[in-house]
Amino acid sequence: MASKGNKYKSKNIIDSFKHAFDGLAYSFKKTKNLLVDVVFAVLVITAGFVFKVSLIEWAVLLLCIALVMSLEMVNTALEEAVNLAMPNLHPIAKISKDVSAGAVLFSAIISVVIGLIIFMPKFIGLF
């Protein structure tokens, strides 16, 4: 149930979903890195069909895609909040933004490694 004093709190589940979809739409419109993530996700999904990955491999690949894209959106939210709270350059604001971006990078690197583990044997098997 929404508190009376918080105009940003959703009043019901429909409003919650609307706000979530608004956040997705904002992310896709304003976050260029998320568009890069989408391109790589499409490539990975295409490769999954081409190489006929197993159900477990699909689950792992989709979790990696979801992790990277979700962290990208969390990074965007954190950066926007830091920009609002700290419009002037501040060393702690920089640390917050850098660590958040680092989390995205780390998840992307691990996802690439997982992709290589899944796809390299299939690719090598072609020759």
Question: How far is C-alpha 41 from the chain's CA centre?
Answer: 11
Q: Is 126 helix (H, G, I), strand (E, B) or coil?
A: coil
- Catalytic pick from 57, 72, 79, 80? 72
Burial zone of 118 (CB within 10 Å; 0-12 exposed, 13-18 middle, 19+ buried): buried
- 18, two tokens: 């609307």
Give the separation between CA 32 and CA 35, rounded to whole angstroms.
Answer: 5
Residue 79 bears catalytic tag? no
Active site residue ranges? 72
